[in-house]
Structure 1
């Protein structure tokens, strides 16, 4: 801990971040506070300060009671996607996150992702691996534009879903009164997920700059102002 400020150092905060992510990756849920304190050799107060800073800087999500509920691509609340690996069961934070987990977790080259269509309730399951996109005519629809993802991140993630078809997207939008966001195929979803979270289990982790994020979106085939790109969608 920094002697002058009484606050955890950057190195302390990074150690807590890595422990949270590795706990999710290895166990499917975040470590409890006592485990964080033991692993990092920080006091309970310093662990709480570090978690608060990580939440403020958008590395993790805490609920109103201070519980860790997300560290993208992992979640510990039901956001409509289960991800079954060879030894671990995860909640995926959204369609994007669920497809990302096999690319991030060592030794999990394929996982079984299960969800339901928000419009009609049809169940869908995909074997998602690291070598190619899963087959399927379903589409992903993301409701909240990239610039507003963190306005209410749980709401955002709850509305990054997979639908049977664009007709189901239209039916759901009509039923809910929401406006159309961004719709794309499973291959694009897979490309979006494939490298987005690289490095999050490692240290130090360096977040992409906004310009790098926009370039990534363009490279995987996304278009339009929804993704912060200049050309509007037709």
Structure 2
């Protein structure tokens, strides 16, 4: 398919999600692509290129950092309510969406179900003793990206992570504090709303991981 048309569809989807928290209407994408069939083909080809992830029904479920259903986190600005695709994505939205201002990220601890909320902006990390846990190593995150995002979670503290791992039988992943999560989210999706955006190559991704303070083989770092 024409790369220009693919980029038109990609930008239209991201623009709608950024401004409204919702996907554009099917009729809008069909008009843009020339027909419903061409719009469907563009969506599927862009999914193959990892522009987004499709659910079992073939519809877009994740267009990082936005989700089209609940992954456990809501992100609310003064004007817009989004679903965050995971802990990482939820903290990224205020950095990506122009002029959205501070947001409230809300969820619940997966271990004890205590409500959790943070005021997140672009100036400094939120305060709190909460901890994030990522289950799937970076090299395997796209093996099943819906599973991956469903397991990038925020907990009350390390004790709650320990209880959740014991209850679920999951292996230890990677833990980080709110400062690290905020730095990690701040620049990862830079440029994604603009035409010509390109995903980071593995070496660039590893350099970014190192820059924001991530460490070890979980992130492909020595």
Shift, 1:172, TM fit: 0.5
Match of 2:78 among 86, 89, 93: 86
Q: Over the residues paired in the alignment, what is the CA RMSD in angstroms? A: 0.9
Matches within 5 A, 1:175-186: 175-186=167-178
CA distance in 1, matches of 2:9, 2:25: 11
Give every structure 1 segment of 4 or more consecutive aligned residues whose post-TM-superposition deviation is greater than 4 Å.
none
Q: Mind listing any 5+ residue stretches in structure 1 that lack a counterpart?
A: 1-7
| SS of match in other structure, 1:184 | strand
CA distance in 2, matches of 1:227, 1:167: 23
Q: TM-score, normalised by structure 2?
A: 0.98
| SS of match in other structure, 2:142 | helix
> What does residue 130 of structure 1 align with?
122
Match of 2:14 among 21, 36, 45: 21
CA distance in 1, matches of 2:34, 2:94: 31
Larger radius of gyration: 1
CA distance in 2, matches of 1:41, 1:223: 43
> What does residue 101 of structure 2 align with?
109
Match of 1:187 among 179, 189, 192: 179
| SS of match in other structure, 1:150 | coil
CA distance in 2, matches of 1:79, 1:61: 13
Shift, 1:41, TM fit: 4.6
> What does residue 206 of structure 1 align with?
198
Write out per-residue CA displacement over residues 59-116 of structure 1, whole angstroms, 9 at most, x where no aligned residue: 1111122211110000011100000011110000000000000001111121000011
| SS of match in other structure, 1:46 | helix
CA distance in 1, matches of 2:135, 2:181: 14
Asked if the contact 2:71–2:86 (Cα under 8 Å) also holds between the matched residues in 1, the reply is: yes
Q: TM-score, normalised by structure 1?
A: 0.93
